[in-house]
Amino acid sequence: MTRPATEAAATSELVTAALTLTPVEPEHFDLAFTAVTQPCPWPKAYGGDLVAQAAAAAMRSVTDGKVLHSAHSYFLRPADIGAAVRYEVEVLRDGRGYSTRQVRGYQNGKPVFACLANFAAGEPGGMFEPELAEGVPDPEDVPSSADYLADRSGGTMTETSKAYWSGGRGFDMRHVPGPVYLEVDGGRAPHQAVWIKPFDPLRPVAGLDDAQRDLAALAYVCDYTILEPVLRVLGLPWAEPGLVTASLDHSMWFHRPARLDDWLLYVQDAASAESGRGLGTGRFFTRDHRHLATVAQEGMIRSA
């Protein structure tokens, strides 16, 4: 199959660029970093920038080997695209088994993002993992976003947004049963799955080891599609004229180490839609059915 030019040029470089933090003098709390939001064709920055950058800032403040196991966040204001966000980290607690950090993101002198992150040393205990549903096709048997969009057009999609969906997000994304870019492909059931993989190996990120980088990258990619099962059940594709969405709050739990050198399956469900808000949930699995992380996010959904 001949790949579109957008996919041939696709790279994961913007993901590690988003995770790259610059230490600065704190103004409010104990440590501070700046990071730059990445390009996207919408009026505001991608929410995963803020989630992942705050996670990276929190991880860089924990030096005793504890691992991030949960983060709970609010999106307070839209962030500017291609501009620096200042992340201030407050050390709330350092215990023997657990540590807690508060991270606030500031832009233009105002808070745009707030996060509480918790870290665990780990200890022996029982284990349980949910079963992954059978019958999901392999990623090699599912068209990429670039392949799917190559000969399609419609709605509010522009050449810029088409290129972004096809290869501008750092990850190859393959929808089951089908994407919701121009239409709700696959029906209005309140669930879907997305195979994800970086377009090429993730580059090193200063201040993070490879395990921390991959965890932050998982936090980065989770926001792209988490509201899609809600859009699907409402019959609203991304290119629907008059559709406006915005992330409101976000929670993520990291159960097991995540390596982003192979395909992961992001299984998603719509939990609720009411009063202009929708709640989506998701779980990340490896190809051999290990459950890595769980996500819940509520977003504003307005349609004409």
pLDDT of residue 5: 36
Is the pLDDT at 216 greater than 60? The verdict is: yes
Q: Which long-range contacts (CB under 8 A, 24 or more apart) does 105-110 make?
A: 105/50, 105/53, 105/54, 105/79, 107/77, 107/79, 107/80, 107/83, 108/80, 110/77
Provide the CA 21 distance to its chain's centre, in angstroms: 18
Alpha helix segments (H runs only) across 111-245: 145-149, 159-167, 210-221, 228-234
User: What mean pLDDT is predicted for residues 36-55?
Assistant: 97
Calculate what percentage of the chain has a pLDDT beyond 90: 93
pLDDT at residue 36, as a whole number? 98
What percentage of the chain exceeds 70 in pLDDT?
97
Q: Give the pTM.
A: 0.95
Segment among 4-13, 26-35, 246-255 with least mean pLDDT? 4-13
- Cite the beta strand spans of the chain per DSSP E: 22-24, 31-36, 67-75, 84-94, 98-107, 110-120, 171-176, 191-198, 244-254, 264-274, 277-286, 291-302
pLDDT of residue 28: 95
My answer on whether omega of the bond before 241 falls inside 30° of 0, hence cis, is no
Angle between helices 210-221 and 47-60 (to 10 degrees): 160
Q: Write down the pLDDT at residue 8.
A: 47
| Tokens, residue 71 | 């983060």
Per-residue confidence band for 166, with pLDDT thresholds at 50, 70 and 90: very high
What is the mean pLDDT of the segment spanning 157-168?
Answer: 96
Does the pLDDT value for residue 132 go beyond 90?
no
Q: Please report which residue ranges of the chain form alpha helices under DSSP H.
A: 5-8, 13-19, 47-60, 145-149, 159-167, 210-221, 228-234
